[in-house]
Amino acid sequence: MSENNEDRKLMAAYRRNLVIVFVMAVLLAGSIIFSALQTVYIYRLNTGKTGLLDYTSGESTEEGEGGSVHSLSSSSEDLPEPWFSLEDAAGATNTGKQRLSVTDIVDKVSPATVSLYIRGKVNGATRNISSGSAFIISEDGYAVTNAHVVSSVATGDQDYELCASIHGNKELIQCEVVGIDTQTDCAVIKLKEGRKYDHVTLGNSSDLRVGELAVAIGNALGTLDGTVTVGVISSLDRTISHEQYRLPVIQTDAAINSGNSGGALINSFGEVIGITNAKMVVNQSEGLGFAIPIDTVKPVIESLINYGKVVNRAYLGVTVAQVEEDSYYGSVPGVYVYEYVKDGPADKAGLRNGDRIIKMDGIAINETDDIIVIRDKHKVGDTIEFEIERDGKQMKIELVVGDGSEYEGNSTVSSQPDDPGSTAPSGRTDPTDPSGSTDPSGSGEDGDDFIPDVFGAKK
C-alpha cells in the first residue's frame, strides 16, 4: 500500500515538473519570437521601410486650436515689404521625397547643426556660462534656436557674447541675436558673414503621424556636440504651459537632454519638423521629450528676420482667471478679467477687471482655453463681440483685435478688491484679486491648472 502511495507521489511530482518545463519552454519561445519581431521592426523603422503612413500628403487644411502664431496675418500697410522667405531659403526642392536611413539623415543634417555657447567673464577669464543647440536655415547664416537659450544675450548685456560651433569644426563663430519670441520660445540668430553655410530643409509638422521615425541632433549636456538620438513621434496633441502661455508641442521618446534646447527634430525625409526643448522635459522622466512644431514657428521665424519682432499677431490685451464653483463665498464660476493692458484692445473696448466673460462670437466661454481658440481664429483688425456680466448685469461690447507688437512695454491695470465684478465679501478671497493669491486660478502649485497670460499682458 505504501509503495503505491509512493508511486503516485512520484508520478504527481513528475507531472508537475513536466508542466513547469512546458510553461517555461512556451515563455522562452515567446520571448525569442517577440525579440525577433522587435529587431525586425526597429530595423525597418531605421531604414525608413515602415512607420510613415501617408506622410507625403499635402498640408493639412484643418484649423488647429493651439499655437497663437496661426493668428499672424500676411500683410500690413505700415510694414515694409518682407525680403526673407523660408520657402525660398529652406523649402523642400525635391518633390519626389524618399525616406532615408538614420545614418543618411545624420549625414544630411549634421553639417547644418550648431552648438551654441553663451560666454562671459568668470574670475577674469572668459568661460562658457551656458549652452544650447541650433540649426542653420539659410546659406547666409541665419539659424533657429530657443528664446530661453539666448535671452541673456538678447538683452544687450555687454558682459556676455554668443558663439557657435558647427559639428565637426571646433572653430567658435561669433553670432548676433536677430530677434526672440517668448510666446513660442523661438529665436533667430545670425552667424557671422563671409562664408556660405550648409542649411537644413524644413518640413511640415502638420503632416506628421504618431509612430513615425524621429531623430534629434543637438549639443547634449552642453559638451557632447552632434549627439544623435532616435525614437518615434509619441503624440501630437500635447499642450505645455510655458512662460504664461499655452504652447502646442510634439511629444517624442527620442532622448532630449540638457543642452539639446534649440536643436532639430527631424523626420524620415531628413526635414526639420520641430525645435527640441529640454526645458519642457519633466525631471527624472525617461522617453519623454518635447519639440515645438515647425509649422507653429514658421511665420514667427520669417517675422523675426524681416522685422526683428513678431508682427500681426492677434492680441486682445487682457489676462483672465478661471473661477471654480465654491472657490470663495458667493463665487460665480466662470472666466473673469484679471488684468488688462492700459490703452490696449480690451481697455479701448471697455473690458474691466472682474468682468465675467460669458460669450465671444456667440460661443460660450467655460474655460480660458476657449478664449485662446477663438482669438486664434481672428487676425489683426477683426472685431470680436463679447458678452459679459458686470455687477449682475449682462452687456455686449465689441473689441477690435490689435497687433501685439504695438503694445510691448505697455503697463497693466490689475484687479483690486473693490473692482467691478468682485463679489467676495469682506474676509473672503476673490480669485480676481491679486492681493489674495499670486496664482489667480487658486490652483496653488498644480502646474496643470496654470492660467497662462495668453494675450500678452505682462505681470
Question: How sure is the predictor about 340, in pLDDT bands with cuts at 50, 70 and 90?
Answer: very high
Question: How sure is the predictor about 57, in pLDDT bands with cuts at 50, 70 and 90?
Answer: very low
Task: Give the three cell numbers for residue 386.
Answer: 463679447
Does a structural domain hold residue 305? no
Closest of 309, 335, 318 to residue 384, by C-alpha? 318
Catalytic: which of 181, 185, 355, 376?
185
Count of CA atoms in the C-beta half-sphere (13 A) of 91: 8
Does a structural domain hold residue 165? yes
Does a structural domain hold residue 9? no
- More confident position, 390 or 46: 390
Choosing from 191, 223, 251, the residue where a domain stops is 191
pLDDT digit string, tens, across residues 350-373: 999 999 999 999 999 998 888 988
Task: List C-alpha distances in Å: 324 to 417, 430, 440, 449.
Answer: 18, 11, 11, 11
110 is catalytic: no
| Arithmetic mean of pLDDT, 56-77 | 38
Does a structural domain hold residue 220? no
Q: For the chain, what is the domain count? A: 2
Report the pLDDT value the prediction gives residue 65, as an integer from 0 to 100: 34
Phi and psi of 201, rounded to 5°?
-110, 135
DSSP string, 108-158: HHGGGEEEEEEEEEETTEEEEEEEEEEEE-STT-EEEE-HHHHHHHHTT-T
Task: List C-alpha distances in Å: 431 to 320, 335, 371, 382, 388.
Answer: 10, 11, 18, 30, 18
Does a structural domain hold residue 440? yes
Q: Report d(CA 71, CA 378) in Å as an integer.
A: 6
Does a structural domain hold residue 111? yes
Cβ atoms of residues 335 and 357 within 8 Å: yes
Task: Give the three cell numbers for residue 238.
Answer: 500635447
Report the pLDDT value the prediction gives residue 432, as an integer from 0 to 100: 35
Question: How sure is the predictor about 88, in pLDDT bands with cuts at 50, 70 and 90?
Answer: low
pLDDT digit string, tens, across residues 287-332: 788 999 999 999 999 999 999 988 888 889 998 988 888 777 777 8
Does a structural domain hold residue 138? yes
Q: Report d(CA 384, CA 378) in Å as an integer.
A: 8
Helix/strand/coil percent split, the chain, to 5:
25, 30, 45
Question: How sure is the predictor about 155, in pLDDT bands with cuts at 50, 70 and 90?
Answer: confident
Choosing from 167, 191, 215, the residue where a domain stops is 191
Instruction: Write the CATH number for 403.
Output: 2.30.42.10
Choosing from 191, 214, 235, the residue where a domain stops is 191
CA angle 148, 154, 157 (to 5 degrees): 120
pLDDT of residue 426 exceeding 50: no
| Arithmetic mean of pLDDT, 168-185 | 88
Q: Report d(CA 265, CA 279) in Å as an integer.
A: 15
Instruction: Write the CATH number for 139.
Output: 2.40.10.10
Q: What percent of the chain has pLDDT over 70?
A: 73
With a CB cutoff of 8 Å and minimum separation 6, the contacts of 96 are none
Does a structural domain hold residue 257? no
Cβ atoms of residues 149 and 262 within 8 Å: yes
Catalytic: which of 70, 148, 242, 378?
148
| Arithmetic mean of pLDDT, 432-453 | 31
In this structure, are strands 271-276 and 201-202 parallel, antiparallel, or unpaired? parallel
Sheet strands (E) in 182-303: 186-191, 201-202, 213-220, 224-242, 245-252, 264-266, 271-276, 289-293
Question: How sure is the predictor about 413, in pLDDT bands with cuts at 50, 70 and 90?
Answer: confident
Cβ atoms of residues 253 and 233 within 8 Å: no
Task: Give the three cell numbers for residue 39.
Answer: 529587431
Question: How sure is the predictor about 144, in pLDDT bands with cuts at 50, 70 and 90?
Answer: very high
Which run of H or E residues covers position 279? none
185 is catalytic: yes
pLDDT of residue 8 exceeding 80: no
Instruction: For residue 151, give its domain range.
Output: 79-191
Catalytic: which of 115, 130, 206, 261?
261
| Arithmetic mean of pLDDT, 186-209 | 91
pLDDT digit string, tens, across residues 16-43: 888 888 888 888 888 888 777 766 655 5
pLDDT of residue 66 exceeding 70: no
Report the pLDDT value the prediction gives residue 75, as an integer from 0 to 100: 44
Task: List C-alpha distances in Å: 183 to 2, 67, 273, 365, 369.
Answer: 85, 9, 19, 23, 15
